Amino acid sequence: MDFFELVNKRRSVRKFTDESVPTEVINKSLNAAILAANSSNLQPWEFYWVKNNDKKQKLIEACFSQNAAKTAQELIVSVSRIDTWKRNKNLVVDDYKKRKKLIPVVDKYYNKLVPLSYFHDSLGIMGIFKKIIFIFIGIVGLFKPMPRGPIFKSDVFEIVTKTTALACQNFMMAIVAQGYDSCPMEGFDHKRVKKILNLNSKSHVVMVIAVGKGDLKGVYGERFRIDNKFVIKEV
């Protein structure tokens, strides 16, 4: 099955059979997930494979006991984080050093620009400071292209969440490539999910992904897409 066949085959399945999903299928899909494109290679994601029965039941309830969650053989929670950038940045820089590829422009990018973009204090003072800086940058931007952010913590959350969503798509494509199905769920009580996983305030639950073998009635209707003329623009 080629890539485009896989894209067409992937559907959001909301009811699964009792067939179990082999451990190697999940592991292989998670490994595919973390190969996703991501901003500055900071890889701000975490994937929680919920195996504990008590936690799994609580997670199902936090997902409002919807069919996809209740019938799934496996549940994976994708999380984006704004507090792992420093650790991951150092690991990336160390890798450059080992390969003797840490040229000045790379060193400057990771040790100056990345901290400026990602660092935020709990009081939000850094955000105000950066807002002032970007006011002046905005003036320069009247004459040439300039970076416009991130400024506030919410801006960083937006970056890491977009990146994590790319990894989720990799995961779901890997699942369907191995003959199984999935359903990305955004309908959940995020506070309860964070409590179940013991997550801090610098984390964001992007989605809960249900995995299993799709039931014949698991797809609710034919696929519908808005006409291309409304969403694909040539400029």
Provide the number of structural domains found in the chain. 1
User: What's the pLDDT at 142?
Assistant: 87
178/3 Cα distance (integer angstroms): 13
User: What's the pLDDT at 149?
Assistant: 83
Could you tell me if 77 and 47 are in contact, meaning their C-beta atoms sit under 8 angstroms apart?
A: yes
CATH code at 39?
Answer: 3.40.109.10
Quick check: is 215 in a domain? Answer: yes
Quick check: is 122 in a domain? Answer: no
Name every residue whose Cβ is closer than 8 Å to that of residue 133 and which is 6 or more positions away in sequence. none
Distances in whole angstroms, Cα of residue 92 to Cα of each of 5, 18, 41, 108, 163: 35, 42, 8, 13, 17
Which pLDDT tens digit goes with each residue over 34-44? 999 999 999 99
Range of the domain at 178: 3-82+154-221
Instruction: Spell out the alpha helix ranges (H) of 99-217.
Output: 104-108, 114-118, 125-140, 153-177, 190-197
User: What's the pLDDT at 137?
Assistant: 83
One-letter amino acid at 140 equals: V
Quick check: is 125 in a domain? Answer: no
Quick check: is 107 in a domain? Answer: no
pTM, to two decimals: 0.94
Other CB atoms closer than 10 Å to residue 163's CB: what's the count? 20
Among 22, 29, 6, 33, CA closest to 73: 22
59/215 Cα distance (integer angstroms): 21
Per-residue pLDDT of the chain (235 residues; tens, 9 = 90+): 899 999 999 999 999 999 999 999 999 999 999 999 999 999 999 999 999 999 999 999 999 999 999 999 999 999 999 999 999 999 999 999 999 999 999 999 999 999 989 998 888 888 888 888 888 888 888 898 888 889 899 999 999 999 999 999 999 999 999 999 999 999 999 999 999 999 999 999 999 999 999 999 999 999 999 999 999 999 9
User: What's the pLDDT at 168?
Assistant: 98
Other CB atoms closer than 10 Å to residue 30's CB: what's the count? 16
* Cα angle: 62, vertex 75, 179; to 5 degrees: 145
Quick check: is 99 in a domain? Answer: no
User: What's the pLDDT at 177?
Assistant: 98
User: What's the pLDDT at 133?
Assistant: 83
Quick check: is 96 in a domain? Answer: no
User: What's the pLDDT at 146?
Assistant: 81
Quick check: is 8 in a domain? Answer: yes
